[in-house]
Amino acid sequence: MELIEELRRLLGATQVLCGADAARYGRDWTGQYEWTPLAVLRPGSTAEVSAVMRLAHAARVPVVPVSGHTGLTGGTVAEGALMLSLERMNRIREIRRSARTAVVEAGVVLATLHEEVGKLGLSFPLMFGARGSAMIGGALSTNAGGSNVLRYGNTRALCLGLEVVLADGRILDLQSALHKDNSGYDLRDLFIGAEGTLGIITGAVLKLVPAPRAYATAMVATADLGVALDLLNRLQEATAGLVEAFEYMPRAYMRRLLARKPEMRAPFAQEHDVNILVEIASTSPRDAHPREDGSIPLVTLLEETLFDLAESGAVLDAVVARSDAQRSEMWARREAAAEITLGQSPIVDTDVAVPLDLVARFETEVRVRIAALDPQAETLSIAHLGDGNLHFTIFPTDGDPVFKDRLRETVEDVVALLGGSFSAEHGIGTSKKPTMARRKDPVVLEVMRSLRKALDPEGILNPGKVLPD
């Protein structure tokens, strides 16, 4: 109680939540984890975060940072810990239009940043379904991915500099706006993807890009995944790398989507095994300026490429968006994935990556192995096909935790066979710690533990996450 009173004096009584006032912070988005925090703290500045950490460090009390509360791996479980919410640190400090950078606080909601830089003809090209509530600090802490990784990379690739508060309260100022700085260890990348276990990200310098002048978006059905990859390569060549998204939604996903959300229309008159959402975008006036007949050159290029592949039989069907409303309808199918996938129990959800040309082999091999263990289990895939990231979900007939872990290990076996990763974009959190113990190189784990010990010797930053016990 003495610590809580000190925190109230520091932050103000209304910014230290306990008991019923803190209840909404004690459950993750998936509903798989629940906890009771010691208190929820809502600092309004980096200086206040620093002061909180000095107090917590002296008292050896664990601190769990939280942003938009949209994680999927139990990364904010905080039983008996102080939860440090960055929601009040939501200021866009500066947008440097000519340098195409934005200096932001960690609590800035992704959609808000999109809106503000869009007013200046710019874009922050990190895009995923939870952008209306996800915050920059969380996206950096998990190195979030999304649908535009194919063109722009993960969050790490979009960050130039960071502001970080260390476990003992010291402020690490890495807020460089430089594209080149070869002056020693790259500490910035150390904190991105660390899930708050090495320090608390309070601010960042982010890269911006010109906002596209034109989009060409389509739903495409192909004969198989191999043909879909050929389509991706053809489009990349034809557009000089302008493909922003290439999303795979198989027949089973479409059926589940329409069953759960009947208001959504099927993309085609008949069902297909392989359905692809493809989007290309250009900032060039020559691609966006309408021709005399009213056609948009970028859209025409997409249509012509799809027509050529249809002539050969590779493309079975295609619908090109003719309006913003049609484009939004196509994206709504993809962005409903988490909602329609995670609403059933028991469930084994995975987030894996394999080489692009081995996605089809993964799909075949993993289903054979799962069927051998649980013949009545349902499986569901949805993928950022352009970067090889699959969200493969199993709905087993047996919810026993040991059996579910055996199913998860079976998926890991296939991923390892194909030279992939068991975690592509959602982070490790709590749920993937057993996999880390099984699959991560022991030397790598040893180095990770050494880094964590050096930066947080008392082990108070987001304890129990990422590293195996």
Element (H, E) at 8: helix 2-11
Report pLDDT for 260. Answer: 92
Task: List pLDDT tens digits, range 93-111.
Answer: 999 999 999 999 999 999 9
The count of other CB atoms within 10 Å of the CB of residue 397 is: 11
CB 156 within 8 A of CB 143: yes
User: Facing residues of 219 across strands?
Assistant: 277, 319
CATH code of the domain in which 304 resides: 3.30.70.2190
User: What residues have CB less than 8 Å from 192, skipping those under 6 apart?
Assistant: 140, 141, 143, 155, 156, 159, 162, 201
First to last CA, the chain: 29
- Looking at the fold, whether 287 and 349 belong to one and the same domain comes out as no
Task: List pLDDT tens digits, range 120-166.
Answer: 999 999 999 889 999 999 999 999 999 999 999 999 999 999 999 99
Q: What whole-number distance in Å separates Cα of residue 259 and Cα of residue 97?
A: 45
Report pLDDT for 32. Answer: 84
Q: What whole-number distance in Å separates Cα of residue 364 and Cα of residue 210?
A: 40
Give the tokens for residue 105. Answer: 């606080």
Band of residue 339 on the pLDDT scale cut at 50, 70, 90: confident
Report pLDDT for 464. Answer: 96
Last residue of a domain, one of 281, 309, 337: 337
Mean pLDDT of all residues belonging to the chain: 95
In a domain, 462, yes or no: no
- Looking at the fold, whether 16 and 76 belong to one and the same domain comes out as yes
- Looking at the fold, whether 326 and 401 belong to one and the same domain comes out as no
Last residue of a domain, one of 283, 313, 337: 337
User: What residues have CB less than 8 Å from 328, skipping those under 6 apart?
Assistant: none
Phi, psi of 346 (to 5 degrees): -75, 160
- Looking at the fold, whether 107 and 19 belong to one and the same domain comes out as no
Report pLDDT for 197. Answer: 98
- Looking at the fold, whether 206 and 97 belong to one and the same domain comes out as yes
Q: What whole-number distance in Å separates Cα of residue 123 and Cα of residue 130?
A: 17
Q: Which residues of 190-219 are buried (b: 16+ CB within 10 A; e: fewer)?
A: bbbbbbbbbbbbbbbbbbbbebbbbbbbbb
CB 380 within 8 A of CB 340: no
Residue among 424, 438, 426, 417 nearest 369 (CA)? 417
Q: What whole-number distance in Å separates Cα of residue 69 and Cα of residue 27?
A: 9
Give the tokens for residue 462. Answer: 């987001």
How large is the C-alpha radius of gyration of the chain?
23
In a domain, 466, yes or no: no
- Looking at the fold, whether 289 and 369 belong to one and the same domain comes out as no
Report pLDDT for 98. Answer: 97
The widest CA-to-CA distance across the chain, in whole angstroms, is 75
Report pLDDT for 59. Answer: 96
Task: List pLDDT tens digits, range 150-163.
Answer: 999 999 999 999 99
Secondary structure class of 248 (helix, strand, coil): strand
Residue among 155, 161, 162 nearest 134 (CA)? 155
In a domain, 469, yes or no: no
CB 466 within 8 A of CB 428: yes
- Looking at the fold, whether 121 and 137 belong to one and the same domain comes out as yes
Report pLDDT for 72. Answer: 86
Report pLDDT for 306. Answer: 93
- Looking at the fold, whether 357 and 390 belong to one and the same domain comes out as yes
- Looking at the fold, whether 258 and 177 belong to one and the same domain comes out as no
CATH code of the domain in which 15 resides: 3.30.43.10
Report pLDDT for 31. Answer: 81
Task: List pLDDT tens digits, range 389-406.
Answer: 999 999 999 999 999 999
CATH code of the domain in which 101 resides: 3.30.465.10
* CB-facing half-sphere around the CA of 4: CA atoms within 13 A: 15
Band of residue 342 on the pLDDT scale cut at 50, 70, 90: confident
Burial class (CB in 10 A: 0-12, 13-18, 19+), 133: middle
- Looking at the fold, whether 349 and 333 belong to one and the same domain comes out as no
Amino acid at 185: Y
Task: List pLDDT tens digits, range 316-334.
Answer: 999 999 999 999 999 999 9
Report pLDDT for 363. Answer: 96
For range 178-185, the mean pLDDT: 93
For range 427-446, the mean pLDDT: 96
Helices 359-373/401-417 angle, 10° precision: 150
Report pLDDT for 70. Answer: 87
Q: Which residues of 308-324 are buried (b: 16+ CB within 10 A; e: fewer)?
A: ebeeeebbbbbbbbeee
Q: Considering the entire predicted model, what is its pTM?
A: 0.93
Report pLDDT for 123. Answer: 98
How far is CA 196 from each of CA 18, 140, 309, 466, rounded to the nearest angstrom? 22, 10, 47, 10
Q: Is the pLDDT of residue 343 over 80?
A: no
Residue 11 domain boundaries: 2-85
Report pLDDT for 313. Answer: 87
Last residue of a domain, one of 46, 65, 85: 85
Helix, strand, coil tally for the chain in percent (to 5): 40, 20, 40
Band of residue 29 on the pLDDT scale cut at 50, 70, 90: confident
Express as a percent the part of the chain with pLDDT over 90. 93
Report pLDDT for 36. Answer: 96
Domain count, the chain: 4
Report pLDDT for 100. Answer: 98
CB 280 within 8 A of CB 235: yes
Residue among 29, 125, 27 nearest 70 (CA)? 29
CA dihedral for 455, 461, 467, 469, sign (positive or negative): positive
- Looking at the fold, whether 309 and 358 belong to one and the same domain comes out as no
- Looking at the fold, whether 350 and 265 belong to one and the same domain comes out as no
Report pLDDT for 383. Answer: 95
CATH code of the domain in which 420 resides: 3.30.70.2740
